[in-house]
């Protein structure tokens, strides 16, 4: 087991940021820690990397206790903090060199992590000259220097443009083939793109813990239909296998069905039979999205 969290509570002043949180992460899993802003994700990650201490409960990382074995936890964990604080006046190699010395890691590791994170074309530059995507690579390279078993990445893809996003996701996935990765995000699509498993946290409590494989095999689908006129929800609830109807705005309806069969043709026929025009018709097989929204709304 790479990470074992047992009944962790963290109180800041009088506010509970984590409330009796427990979970385990197995070796070589990529686990997404998903929750809205303020849910307690960064707090959990700071406890697991020994930057702060829990108010109650315990956690073990790579068999080492975060309270009694801090040094060993630190030497077996790679951490990319939120907003990846980098010394922007340093050149990439200077920065990695400094940290390699601090970790007591041989210089040969520097070129290895530069290679591994695709930093080579930019490795001669000052950190301030790098794009956000390349800065994230420097942060990842830094987290990998001491060859840790477990990587803890706090919002590693937030703020990247779409191209950078794809590159960093691929990089994290490839790192995750050999290492345990525990990454946080408030964006559900990031979990779908990178993770094997999702742990959802809301207001300091774990509200779901699922393998993506199981979610993908789930039956829920949402059909988003826009009509040219208002329809009573009760009317749409007469469609076969409907479980829920929402009207987020205007004449747009989100109709949830519990079946694998593509229900768009049924919605189309329904519109035709009722003299309605369809302006838009889309299907989403997104049990993760609906689960996330329901659990955190």
Give the interface with ligand ADP as residue ranges (CB under 6 A). Answer: 12, 15, 17, 35, 37-43
Closest CB 6 distance from Mg ion, rounded Å: 22
Comparison of 12 and 235: residue with beta carbon closer to ligand ADP: 12
Which does residue 66 touch among Mg ion, ligand ADP, none (CB within 5 to 8 A, set by kind)? none
Nearest approach in angstroms of CB 201 to Mg ion is 11
Report what 172 binds from ligand ADP, Mg ion, none; CB cut-off 5-8 Å by kind.
none
Q: Which is nearer to ligand ADP, 42 or 136 (CB)?
A: 42
Helices (H), ranges, 104-161: 108-116, 132-144
Q: Considering the complex, state which of residue 34 and residue 212 has its C-beta at the smaller distance from ligand ADP.
A: 34
Q: How far is the CB of 18 from ligand ADP (least distance, A)?
A: 8
Sequence length of the chain is 297
> Cβ neighbours of residue 258 under 8 Å, at least 6 residues apart?
219, 220, 241, 243
Contact 180, 29 (CB under 8 A): yes
> Which residue number, 40 or 176, has a Cβ lying nearer to ligand ADP?
40
Q: Is 71 left (phi over 0), alpha (psi -120 to 50) or beta?
A: alpha
| Residue 235 interface partner, choices Mg ion, ligand ADP, none, CB cut-off 5-8 Å depending on type | none
The CA distances from residue 202 to 40, 41, 148, 181, in Å, are: 8, 9, 29, 21
Residues of the shown chain interacting with Mg ion in the complex, contacts defined by CB under 5 A: 41-42, 82
Closest approach of ligand ADP to the CB of residue 161, in Å: 22
Indicate which of ligand ADP, Mg ion, none lies near residue 62 (CB less than 5 to 8 Å, by partner kind).
none
Nearer to Mg ion by C-beta: 30 or 201?
Answer: 201
Cβ atoms of 222 and 253 within 8 Å: the answer is: no
Least separation in angstroms between CB 253 and ligand ADP: 32
Distances in Å between the Cα of 95 and the Cα atoms of 37, 134, 135, 265 are: 30, 14, 12, 58
Tally of CB atoms within 10 A around 40: 24
User: Least distance to ligand ADP from the beta carbon of 11, Å?
Assistant: 9
146: closest CA among 110, 174, 172, 94?
Answer: 110
- Our CB check for ligand ADP shows the closer of 17 and 255 to be 17
């Amino acid at each position: 087991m790479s990470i074992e969290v047992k009944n962790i509570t963290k109180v800041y002043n009088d506010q509970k940021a984590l409330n009796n949180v427990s979970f385990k992460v197995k070796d070589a899993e990529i686990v997404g820690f998903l929750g809205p802003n303020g849910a307690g994700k960064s707090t959990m990650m700071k406890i697991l990397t020994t930057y702060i201490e829990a108010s109650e409960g315990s956690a073990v990382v790579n068999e080492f206790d975060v309270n009694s074995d801090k040094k060993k936890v630190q030497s077996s964990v790679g951490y990319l903090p939120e907003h990846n604080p980098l010394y922007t006046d340093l050149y990439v190699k200077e920065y990695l060199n400094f940290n390699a010395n601090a970790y007591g890691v041989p210089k040969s590791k520097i070129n290895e992590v530069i290679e591994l994170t695709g930093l080579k074309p930019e490795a001669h530059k000052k950190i301030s000259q790098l794009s956000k995507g390349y800065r994230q690579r420097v942060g990842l390279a830094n987290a990998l220097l001491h060859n840790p078993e477990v990587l803890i990445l706090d919002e590693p893809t937030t703020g990247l443009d779409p191209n950078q996003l794809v590159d960093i996701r691929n990089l994290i996935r490839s790192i995750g083939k050999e290492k345990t990765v525990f990454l946080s995000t408030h964006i559900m699509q990031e979990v779908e793109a990178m993770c094997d498993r999702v742990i959802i946290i809301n207001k300091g409590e774990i509200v779901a813990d699922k393998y993506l494989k199981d979610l993908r095999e789930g039956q829920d689908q949402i059909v988003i239909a826009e009509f040219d006129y208002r329809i009573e929800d009760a009317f749409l609830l007469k469609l076969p296998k409907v479980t829920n109807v929402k009207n987020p705005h205007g004449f747009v309806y989100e109709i949830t069905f519990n079946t694998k069969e593509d229900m768009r043709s049924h919605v189309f026929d329904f519109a035709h039979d009722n003299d309605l025009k369809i302006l838009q018709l889309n299907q989403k097989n997104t049990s993760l999205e609906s689960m996330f929204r329901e659990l955190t709304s």
